[in-house]
Amino acid sequence: MIRVQVDGAQPWVSGEALGRLMSQLEAAQGRLWDPKEDEGKKGWLTWPEEDHDGLWQEVEETATEIRSRADVAVVVGIGGSYLGARAMTAMLRPGSEISGFWGFPVVFAGYQLSEGELLRLMDDLDDREPALIVVSKSGSTLEPGAAFHLLRTNLERRYGPQARERIYVVTDPERGALREYAVEKGYRRLPIPPDIGGRYSVLTPVGMLPAAVAGIDIRRVLTGARRGWEDCRRLDLWANPAILYAAARHLLYLQGWMVEALVTYEPRMADFSRWWQQLFGESQGKEGRGLFPAFFHYTTDLHSMGQFVQQGRRLLFETVLDVDGASAPQPAAGESPDPRAVIPDDVDAASAYLAGKRLDDLQEAAMAAVMEAHREGGVPQLRIEAKGPGEELFGELVFFFEAACALGGYLLGVDPYDQPGVEAYKRKLKARLLTGSGGGA
Ligand code: PA5
């Protein structure tokens, strides 16, 4: 269940202002759900209602194979080809990175160009039996391309021709250099539907293969996405959380607020914030328009950015993403909470008022106190309340944010599916490397 609350954003998001936006909202919702609009770019929209059972079986079989052949999976990708998988594994399997305590380890590479990081990863992998999952829709992105060939060569040194059985490729099923290479080498492949762009692709094998390898029940993620799909189809401002969220942030934008900071309180949501940031930043930041998407992890960032938020230049509003309130399993009625998370009685004088309280109690109080303080500091606040079992909630949240992002792009008058600004740096980088002005051994 996802609920958007706008009470903390008064007077900017008033009933009257929302009413004035209504015809634009109807037009945006109509355009989003009209199959003839943006044809070939909106595969993500119908994805949760379609039957892809054969594909999911293949994803699950591939995940089982990877888990039987390897003891760590390295996902190689950048942007939309890794952020969703990272968000999902971090939210649903916190601590499943290489040094984690439980779950099948899934780590990420190919999302930057640090030589030191890659060499450190290779050192870590020396004591393990790795598999590579290479994800690239275009099959020609520099960062994952470089990391893939370096990691592949390392695997070939170790396993010889059998290295082939440890390499899995997720890419466009019809085109691209990576696809051709994978066919030639005989790597097992999974498709990225051609009509689903990178940052909208987490619910395809892009996110679902790494998730299934990490032990996440992807069918439940799909159930949640389907629920999101049902809610976001409605043309009813108060029953469709995507319309309300898109409308509220658009009204704030129109009234001069420049930065939207997504606020989370649970460390396991940190990577989700990065996924959200890419989705909105790359989809809406163009033609001199768009809110700057930032994120804060409270209470950590209250001791750094909290000062600016409370008293600095008035340019940002907060969107608090409250995911199911608590971080730990809740005790059943009549049961006591886990005593290890209860502050003992024999504390110092300054902490006496905390005695007997759980960490979760402190977290809840912190959320309420921060909202009150920032409100008094003149910070508009939106609140997204998300409740339900983790896997389903992840799917529901993904669909909700994707729908809100596309709607917001239409309200702004930009194409939410292209990224011409990213292409500019890629062209310049390639030109430098081709002319030899980009270094070399
Ligand atoms: O959202 C997008 O389209 C981008 O962020 C891409 O996902 C990113 O540039 C990686 O592209 P590719 O999957 O082609 O390697």
pLDDT in tens, 24-56: 999 999 999 999 999 999 999 999 999 999 999
138 lines ligand 1 (CB under 6 A): yes
274 lines ligand 1 (CB under 6 A): no
CA 277 to centroid of chain Cα atoms: 8
Whether 390 and 258 map to the same domain: the answer is: yes
Band of the pLDDT at 96, cuts 50, 70, 90? low
How many CB atoms neighbour CB 46 within 10 A?
12
Within-domain flag for 175: yes
Within-domain flag for 434: no
Whether 237 and 189 map to the same domain: the answer is: no
Last residue of a domain, one of 216, 248, 274: 216
Residue 171 Cα to ligand 1 middle (Å): 11
Probe target for ligand 1 pocket from 76, 78, 204, with the most ligand atoms within 8 Å of CB: 78
Residue 136 Cα to ligand 1 middle (Å): 7
Among 156, 165, 230, 426, which one carries the catalytic annotation? 426
User: What is the span of the domain harbouring residue 24?
Assistant: 2-35+222-413
Least confident range of 1-15, 199-213, 314-328: 314-328
Instruction: Say what percent of the chain tops pLDDT 70.
Output: 95
Within-domain flag for 418: no
Is the per-residue pLDDT at 399 higher than 80?
Answer: yes
3-state SS of the chain is: CEEEECHHHCCCCCHHHHHHHHHHHHHHHHHHHCCCCCCCCCHHHHHHHCCCHHHHHHHHHHHHHHHHHCCEEEEECCHHHCHHHHHHHHHHCCCCCCCCCCCCCEEEECCCCCHHHHHHHHHHHHCCCEEEEEEECCCCCHHHHHHHHHHHHHHHHHHHHHHHHHEEEEECCCCCHHHHHHHHHCCEEEECCCCCCHHHCCCCHHHHHHHHHCCCCHHHHHHHHHHHHHHHHCCCCCCCHHHHHHHHHHHHHHCCCCEEEEEECCHHHHHHHHHHHHHHHHHHCCCCCCCEEEEEECCHHHHCHHHHHHHCCCCEEEEEEEECCCCCCCCCCCCCCCHHHECCCCCCHHHHHHCCCEHHHHHHHHHHHHHHHHHHCCCCEEEEEECCCHHHHHHHHHHHHHHHHHHHHHHHCCCCCCCHHHHHHHHHHHHHHHCCCCCCC
Whether 289 and 386 map to the same domain: the answer is: yes
Residues in contact with 182: Cβ distance below 8 Å, sequence separation at least 6, in sequence order: 169, 171, 189
Mean pLDDT of the 273-280 span: 98
Whether 50 and 178 map to the same domain: the answer is: yes
Residue 168 Cα to ligand 1 middle (Å): 18
How many CB atoms neighbour CB 319 within 10 A?
24
Within-domain flag for 130: yes
Is the per-residue pLDDT at 337 higher than 90?
Answer: no
Distance CA 337, CA 328 (A): 10
Within-domain flag for 150: yes
144 lines ligand 1 (CB under 6 A): yes
283 lines ligand 1 (CB under 6 A): no
Residue pLDDT, tens place only, 183-236: 999 999 999 999 999 999 999 999 999 999 999 999 999 999 999 999 999 988
Whether 98 and 51 map to the same domain: the answer is: yes
Whether 212 and 290 map to the same domain: the answer is: no
Higher pLDDT, 93 or 31: 31
CA 360 to centroid of chain Cα atoms: 24
48 lines ligand 1 (CB under 6 A): no
Model pLDDT, residue 93: 83
Residue pLDDT, tens place only, 228-270: 999 999 988 788 999 999 999 999 999 999 999 999 999 999 9
Residue 50 falls in the annotated catalytic set:
no
Band of the pLDDT at 388, cuts 50, 70, 90? confident
Within-domain flag for 181: yes
Residue type, 381: Q
Within-domain flag for 428: no
Last residue of a domain, one of 191, 216, 241: 216
Whether 193 and 112 map to the same domain: the answer is: yes
Distance CA 172, CA 193 (A): 6
205 lines ligand 1 (CB under 6 A): no
How many CB atoms neighbour CB 139 within 10 A?
20
Among 282, 318, 391, 396, which one carries the catalytic annotation? 282
Residue 30 Cα to ligand 1 middle (Å): 27
Model pLDDT, residue 440: 65
Residue pLDDT, tens place only, 120-163: 999 999 999 999 999 999 999 999 999 999 999 999 999 999 99
Instruction: Say what percent of the chain tops pLDDT 90.
Output: 87
Whether 253 and 316 map to the same domain: the answer is: yes
Residue 426 falls in the annotated catalytic set:
yes
Last residue of a domain, one of 216, 242, 261: 216
Backbone φ and ψ for 262, nearest 5 degrees, come out as -80, 125
Are residues 356 and 343 in contact, defined by beta-carbon separation less than 8 angstroms? yes
Whether 244 and 261 map to the same domain: the answer is: yes
Model pLDDT, residue 409: 98
| Longest distance between any two alpha carbons in the chain, whole Å | 71
Mean pLDDT of the 357-384 span: 95
Residue 140 Cα to ligand 1 middle (Å): 10
- Retrieve residue 260's tokens: 């939207």
Within-domain flag for 199: yes
- Retrieve residue 80's tokens: 């939309």
Domain CATH code at residue 314: 3.40.50.10490
Whether 188 and 228 map to the same domain: the answer is: no
Whether 96 and 151 map to the same domain: the answer is: yes
Q: Computed from CA positions of residues 144, 147, 151, 152, in that sequence, does the dihedral angle turn out positive or negative?
A: positive
The 8 Å CB, 24+ separation contacts for 191-195 are 191/55, 192/135, 192/137, 193/43, 193/47, 194/40, 194/43, 195/40, 195/41, 195/42, 195/43
Is the per-residue pLDDT at 367 higher than 60?
Answer: yes
Whether 235 and 284 map to the same domain: the answer is: yes
Number of structural domains in the chain = 2
| Residue nearest atom 12 in ligand 1 by C-alpha distance | 136
290 lines ligand 1 (CB under 6 A): no
Higher pLDDT, 145 or 327: 145
Higher pLDDT, 330 or 426: 426
CA dihedral angle for residue 184, residue 104, residue 273, residue 142, rounded to 10 degrees: -20
